Amino acid sequence: MQQRVVLAIDIGGTKLAVGVVDGEGRVLDYRRAPNPNPPTGDGESVLQSLFALIDELGVERSELLGIGVGCGGPMLWPSGEVSPLNIPTWRGFPLRARLTEAFDLPVHIHNDAICVAVAEHWRGAGMGVDNVLGMVVSTGVGGGLILGGRLVNGASGNAGHIGHAIVHEFEPLCRCGAIGCLEAIASGPNISAWAYAEGWREGFPREQRTGQDLVEDARRGDRIALAAMRRAGRALGIGIATATVLCDLEVVAIGGGLSQAGPLLFDPLEISLRERIGLDYASPVRVVPAGLGQESGLVGAAALVLHPERYWSAD
């Protein structure tokens, strides 16, 4: 008898990815394409690109246990009406309903950062640990919480959103409207915007001063780039200290582009964290790079279907 597998989908503003994931979390087959992501329209072109990519996989419906989806937030959860910040034509788009209708299979959907956290718990740096915060530090700062061995959803499926933990009392203003959010300091665009304002790569166009550029310059010893990384690391340490104490965490796994900076980010993070953890129970916490790579979004999306008792309490 043929092995049952999951169709896993990962949807971001710049790319679409689909894969076939087995019960061990192995990605057996994989396709990736740019998201056409038009600025206006009814959103159908994005969906049609996704369907075309799934067709390329050539997986038989009869082999599938179900479909797991990670998508940029926000979304209404578990109903799966998505309004990804970076996909302007999807506003309240009924992604879960459309996939259910097209495939007549169970569809489990969650925020993409939550899928990464689930993957880290299931098969990555948080494997075998019951209390884990998985984080993505990239264009935004997101995350997911696993407590007592289960994914925490919270009231609206948004638990784990560490990017909007408050790390400073008076500034900066976050795009969410609040003051002092972690994301307003530590996301890639915000780190490089701060460095640019301080004189880094003065006069360069925006596409030549990304978070990745900043990390490279910091590696080369650029003074402002180094200060920007320290500032981001310090803010991450504060947010993680609060999450650790409040949720009694064992492991914090950090993925996303900025986590590639290694010690440039993790060293100041660790100093800041240890200054802000005084209680014995919290001090064993370990902050580590994510154990999985680019495929983690697909692996986590598959886990929503493969292990609903741990990762899918809805429906």
Binding footprint of its own copies on the chain (CB under 8 A) = 74, 130-131, 145, 147-148, 150, 152-162, 164-169, 174-181, 238-239, 241-243, 245-250, 275-282, 284, 313
Question: What is the closest distance, in whole angstroms, from the C-beta atom of residue 226 to its own copies in the complex?
Answer: 20
Question: What is the closest distance, in whole angstroms, from the C-beta atom of residue 300 to its own copies in the complex?
Answer: 18
How far apart are alpha carbons 120 and 55 in whole angstroms? Answer: 28
Q: Which is nearer to its own copies, 209 or 234 (CB)?
A: 234
Q: Which is nearer to its own copies, 104 or 169 (CB)?
A: 169
Question: What is the closest distance, in whole angstroms, from the C-beta atom of residue 228 to its own copies in the complex?
Answer: 17
How far apart are alpha carbons 232 and 2 in whole angstroms? Answer: 48
Question: What is the closest distance, in whole angstroms, from the C-beta atom of residue 91 to its own copies in the complex?
Answer: 13
CB burial of residue 272 (10 Å; 0-12, 13-18, 19+): buried
Alpha helices in the chain, H assignment, sequence order = 44-57, 95-103, 112-123, 182-186, 188-197, 211-219, 223-247, 263-275, 296-306, 308-311
**Percentages helix, strand, coil for the chain, rounded to the nearest 5?**
40, 20, 35
| CB distance 28 to 22 below 8 Å | yes
Question: What is the closest distance, in whole angstroms, from the C-beta atom of residue 141 to its own copies in the complex?
Answer: 12
Count CB-CB contacts under 10 A for residue 14.
Answer: 10
Question: What is the closest distance, in whole angstroms, from the C-beta atom of residue 288 to its own copies in the complex?
Answer: 15
Q: Which is nearer to its own copies, 89 or 131 (CB)?
A: 131
Beta bridge partners of 94: 81
Q: Which is nearer to its own copies, 167 or 228 (CB)?
A: 167
Q: Which is nearer to its own copies, 216 or 275 (CB)?
A: 275
Nearest C-alpha neighbor of 115 from the set 164, 59, 77: 77
Count CB-CB contacts under 10 A for residue 256.
Answer: 22
Question: What is the closest distance, in whole angstroms, from the C-beta atom of residue 275 to its own copies in the complex?
Answer: 6
Q: Which is nearer to its own copies, 123 or 164 (CB)?
A: 164
Cα-only R_g, the chain: 19
Beta bridge partners of 142: 136
Q: Which is nearer to its own copies, 105 or 147 (CB)?
A: 147
